[in-house]
A and B are shown apart, each in its own frame.
Chain A
């Protein structure tokens, strides 16, 4: 498979997952601001923006409308849903001959229907729409893609992004001093609340909830699950195994963070949650970069310019 195509598939996976993850995080946290009048809005909005990796204008207090404008509908803001949807579609366009028509149409329609502004009473509906579109795209891929390299790169991208999103979500605990979102909120935002309740039969305690989102081997949005899945994809892409060690840098990175989380007592992880989550985000970025260098090498693209 062409590297360029593989790269596009990888990024389609990442962008779809990112739009879904961002919609979930925003939905719950913006709702939270509304329902909990004791949260200082400006502070919470700034923290939310910073967790999503974008900084905000300093000169005026932020409101939920600002967050919504930046992270949801602003097409030029790199962390926004609109940006992800656009980028997913662009990548599909570049790999149009490999991407199934159904998927292309779905991504294209999604981008075309992406609203330019969302009024405050439609916010929840909008995020629901984004989640549905993401689920639709993933479902189309799942049901119509041969389990070949195309599938592996797509899944690899999704898994990496998912690990990153869950790590960000866990970092939103930092939202404000007075009232961080409760574990219930965090669980709800990634659709894990009901699965969690069924697993632990009871109240979210810090220990159990963190354990569930970080270490549960069966829940598909947990960090471990996503990292393990990414590792599996990499192994299938390169089935040769060496006698000693692992030569693939991405595998090495993912394996290391997985062991670090998997074999460390949960209490220790919790004590050091901020750094652990930072490490996870660091690793997903580095692994993405390693994958790019290995599988999608860029020949410096020549472009022709006229001689002056």
Chain B
């Protein structure tokens, strides 16, 4: 029995004010009566059993192997000028298939609602006319781009890829934390985490039916091809990257590689006659779909920032003319606006006539009467976020902030109430994570990735789990000392979707092969000298060698010179045909 979970339930090393409600631990459940030892929850039972057999040193050794594998692969990020492996924790997160189905449905619903919202706000703006949204919400959003108004995507899809960030609250309930429908990143880590986990901790996978994640590039390529301008039979798809210095460059190369498409930079593209081309050795080649990983503001210097070197002048015109598809669409940022986020449940009801499956986190809109006053009053117990930032930038956690920080924040809120939202502090769920002291509970969130191809929203089974490594830290971000975990969706009926189930292995994708018989066993050829010898043959040779040695020894002895000179009879040594 290993010592891995020793001290897991120990009180925090650094005493902190206890949160009003303790966080939900995903692996262990305290028995209903509140006493006794916590037990592993059902989905975690197998993995707990496998892990509990390990010692801390073993797990640490494997964690080092994970890290060195990432260093070798170049899955790294820059930390103070030094290349560090992307932190991956060896303990996976497990989500039961039944639970996952709900997440899947919730994400799908949310993406469809946001899709309808974007089509509406860049088109007829019916929701504003119907009073669901205030008009000022759009006009004041920094990511609402007039340049995108009236651009109709070829197959009606603006959100080819989305990453809806989810958390579990103190009761274990999944909630949406924020929407990312601009250029959500992180999916490459999902793919590479799974591969390196399978290579380094194979025993954890035994007996667990983990749904594979390798189908993603294939789904994405299909969605991008489906988004091509009409009338193009074999669309040329490219991935547009800002360049090698971008922090997500690894992801861009991985996606381009796994989709088998070109990875282009702005300078590889040019626009002419309302069409987009890339410069190739075979002359200009037309580009039909651009999966861009460059922000809106840098895409087209004619429309946005004139100093941008990352885009290509004329892109927006080509998109407007319907000659090229930019995915995700320009202007999607308005849907990421944290103030729009507060309206999403209403939008789901309005556009889809459905009740939201995944609830939001309770949020104050500071412009509403009374809200600002209440928030200013309770600033020390709330989380305040700027509406147009993602990844935890600019966020202030009230209980952890100093008095000076709060005073400064107060001033900023008063100056720009539209620019901020406030939420209660949610204790994110915790998962066992290997840190310096051993395996300890750490807070985590989840970013499931969804791909919309116009017919269906496909949600990647799993997603990126990010975990905050410092004790008690609630902001989960890789730029703030965050780690990641492989996320396993397990159990359930895998055969329900045979096309993406069984043979879609980690790297493997659709088109499983039918089985064919082995006609005949072909034993490998061997050099006559090296072919396997039967036991007796070997013995014979050894005996012969022994005799050779003996005779040689004899010849060395001047006293006896009979042996070697005696005439012998040539025989046939074995050495015939190769088998």
Contacts and interface: CB of A to CB of B under 8 A. Distances in A.
Interface of A: 7-8, 10-11, 14-15, 18, 31-32, 34-38, 47, 50-55, 76, 78-79, 83, 86-87, 90-91, 94, 120-121, 123-125, 164, 168, 171, 173-186, 188, 193-194, 196-206, 273-275, 277-278, 281-282, 284-285, 288-289, 292, 298, 300-307
B532 interface: yes
B307 interface: no
B198 A31 contact: yes
Interface stretch (B240-248, B321-329, B568-576): B568-576
B508 interface: yes
A203 B258 CA distance: 10
B149 interface: no
Contact of A90 (B259, B502, B529, B578): B529
A32, A176, A201, A301 — most chain B CB neighbours (10 Å): A201
Given A37-B206, A164-B524, A204-B511, 15 more contacts: A7-B529, A51-B518, A52-B524, A79-B524, A123-B202, A164-B522, A164-B525, A171-B518, A182-B503, A204-B509, A206-B511, A274-B518, A278-B522, A302-B572, A306-B566
Interface of B: 62, 65, 198-203, 205-210, 212, 214, 218, 221, 237, 257-261, 494, 501-532, 544, 566-573, 575-578
Given A90-B529, A182-B513, A54 B523 contact: yes
Contacts of B259: 197, 201
Nearest to A193: B507
Contact of A183 (B237, B511, B522, B575): B511
Contacts of B65: 121
A301 B532 CA distance: 18
A298 B574 CA distance: 11
Closest 10 CB pairs of A and B: A197-B260, A304-B568, A87-B530, A11-B527, A278-B519, A78-B532, A302-B570, A53-B523, A124-B199, A303-B573
A173 B260 contact: no
A203 B510 contact: yes
B509 A182 contact: yes
Given A79-B524, A87-B526, A304-B570, A173 B513 contact: yes
A36 B205 CA distance: 9
A239 B578 CA distance: 27
B200 A121 contact: yes
A205 B511 CA distance: 6
Nearest to B61: A121
Given A34-B206, A184-B507, A281 B522 contact: yes
A193 B237 CA distance: 19
A305 B529 contact: no
A37 B532 CA distance: 35
A173 B505 contact: no
B519 A36 contact: no
Contact of B513 (A79, A206, A302): A206
A78 B511 contact: no
A94 B503 contact: no
B516 A304 contact: no
24 contacts: A15-B527, A15-B530, A32-B508, A35-B205, A38-B501, A53-B524, A87-B526, A90-B530, A91-B527, A94-B529, A164-B524, A180-B513, A180-B515, A182-B504, A182-B508, A184-B214, A185-B508, A194-B260, A197-B258, A201-B259, A202-B260, A275-B519, A292-B528, A304-B571
A289 B577 contact: yes
A285 B527 CA distance: 11
A31 B516 contact: no
A82 B62 CA distance: 26
Contacts of B521: 50, 53-55
Contacts of A193: 507
B260 A196 contact: yes
A288 B206 contact: no
B575 A301 contact: yes
Contact of B527 (A35, A87, A174, A306): A87
A14 B527 CA distance: 9
A185 B505 contact: yes
B569 A305 contact: yes
A52 B518 CA distance: 10
Contacts of B572: 300-303
A300 B263 CA distance: 61
Contacts of B506: 31, 35
A298 B572 CA distance: 11
Contacts of A176: 515
B205, B502, B513, B523 — most chain A CB neighbours (10 Å): B513
B502 A179 contact: yes
B202 A182 contact: no
A201 B523 contact: no
Contact of A32 (B206, B505, B522): B505
B202 A302 contact: no
Nearest to A90: B530
Contacts of A185: 505, 507-508
Given A177-B515, A179-B512, A203-B510, A302 B578 contact: no
A36 B517 contact: no
Contacts of B212: 35-36
Nearest to B58: A121
Nearest to A83: B532
A102 to B, nearest CB: 22
B260 to A, nearest CB: 3
B343 to A, nearest CB: 39
A120 B513 contact: no
B516 A274 contact: yes
A34 B577 contact: no
A86 B544 CA distance: 22
Contacts of B260: 194, 196-202
B308 to A, nearest CB: 29
B59 to A, nearest CB: 11
Contact of A18 (B512, B524, B528): B524
Given A78-B532, A198-B260, A285-B522, A38 B198 contact: no
Contact of B503 (A86, A180, A200, A301): A180
A181 B513 contact: yes
Contact of A292 (B494, B520, B578): B578
B511 A174 contact: no
A204 B257 CA distance: 14
A174 B528 CA distance: 30
Contacts of A203: 218, 221, 509-511
A107 B532 CA distance: 20
B201 A37 contact: no
A34 B509 contact: no
Contacts of A11: 527, 529-530
